Amino acid sequence: MQLSKLMQALPPYHFADAKRKIAERKAVGVDVINLSMGDPDLPAPAAVVERLCAAMQDAENHRYPEYRGMRALHEAIAAWFEQRFAVRLTPERDILPLLGSKEGLVYAGAAVLNAGDVALVPDPYYTVYVTASSTVGAHPYFLQLTEQNGYLPDLEHIPADILTKARILWLNYPNNPTAACAPREFFERVVAFAQRHNVVIIHDMAYAEVYFDDFRPTSILQIPGASDVAVELHSLSKTYNMAGFRAAMLLGNHELVDAVGRIKSNVDSGMFRPIQYAAIEALHLPPSWIQQRNAIYQCRRDLLVQGCNAMGMHAHTTKAGLYVWARVPQRFTAREFATWLFDKAGVFVTAGSNFGVAGEGYVRLSMTTDEERIATALERMKAVL
């Protein structure tokens, strides 16, 4: 069979390959501790599960759902966003429910980019930003993120010939994989940059509600004028431990929201209604639920950061997100260290170089494993190091 050039160029998705490797090792009796994926191990809220089950009993909900989601879901999203960020959105105009934020990223890229365009991609990056750009024939131009620049892209030194072709700037704060957070002042500069250069900002904010202490991540839509140039994606996967439900939302610029909705209506038939009801229930949970859940993650974060630093793997104490970004020992590349650790200790972490050239020298460790298993993983790492 002759497959398309797209399929011939499309690399395997790293985490699909990672799951296969872990399954193979477990099959031969290895006790693998997986610190590689941001897949919440904590259960979805009980009220959400109950609402899902109740909606399943209504035969009306077994039929095709609305293509762009129920009005009630739009209203729940708008109310949640206004309560959290003090920004008012118009239901069914500025809001589009998604089957997970990944599809929204891909479709937003397809709605804006043409072959030959340039997409500005911070490096390290979530790999879908590159896939969403390259699959439509656009070219990624990488903006290096480093500890020295606070993991914020330098927008002032992009070559003029790149800027003339740039159509999209991908952003992601709290950041995956570095866990860096961006201050309001940065978003103000970004909005002004996009207005000057006619660039669309796609801000992936999947980790918005995993935060610690008194810190609260900023939405780009809090910046005046942002809705003219930007959309933002939020997800119930990390926010409410609902990764398997596949529920998220695209918010902001109404033209792009509508364009993504048009693509979706030609590709899928909408979100299963019981999941919409479950999402509504989640969005009505009190902030105290988030705070209690985040307290669990904070204990895990502290354990990972302290453990990595004790082994000489320098790691910052993160303000938000599900990851710890740690340096690898000097004698290894990132991929060598991740492979070596898996072979010697049965601990699976993600090489920073999987997220781009600028990720070399680091590994990403996830907080989605309980404290006892994290402690065991750190003991094994210490023993082999």
Other beta carbons less than 10 A from residue 216's beta carbon: 14
Q: How does pLDDT run along the chain (385 residues), one tens digit per residue?
A: 887 877 776 766 666 666 777 778 777 777 889 999 899 999 999 999 999 999 999 999 999 999 999 999 999 999 999 999 999 999 999 999 999 999 999 999 999 999 999 999 999 999 999 999 999 999 999 999 999 999 999 999 999 999 999 999 999 999 999 999 999 999 999 999 999 999 999 999 999 999 999 999 999 999 999 999 999 999 999 999 999 999 999 999 999 999 999 999 999 999 999 999 999 999 999 999 999 999 999 999 999 999 999 999 999 999 999 999 999 999 999 999 999 999 999 999 999 999 999 999 999 999 999 999 999 999 999 999 9
Considering Cα of 325, then 43, then 239, then 65, what sign does the dihedral take? positive
Q: What is the pTM of this model?
A: 0.94
CATH topology of domain 5-43+288-384: Aspartate Aminotransferase, domain 1 (3.90.1150)
Contact at 8 Å (CB) between 269 and 343?
no
Burial class (CB in 10 A: 0-12, 13-18, 19+), 173: buried
Question: Which among 337, 261, 270, 322 has a CA at the least distance from the CA of 126?
Answer: 322
CATH architecture for segment(s) 46-283:
3-Layer(aba) Sandwich (3.40)
Q: Is-same-fold flag (5-43+288-384; 46-283)?
A: no
Q: What spatial distance separates the first Cα and last Cα of the chain, rounded to whole Å?
A: 47
Domain layout of the chain by residue ranges: 5-43+288-384, 46-283
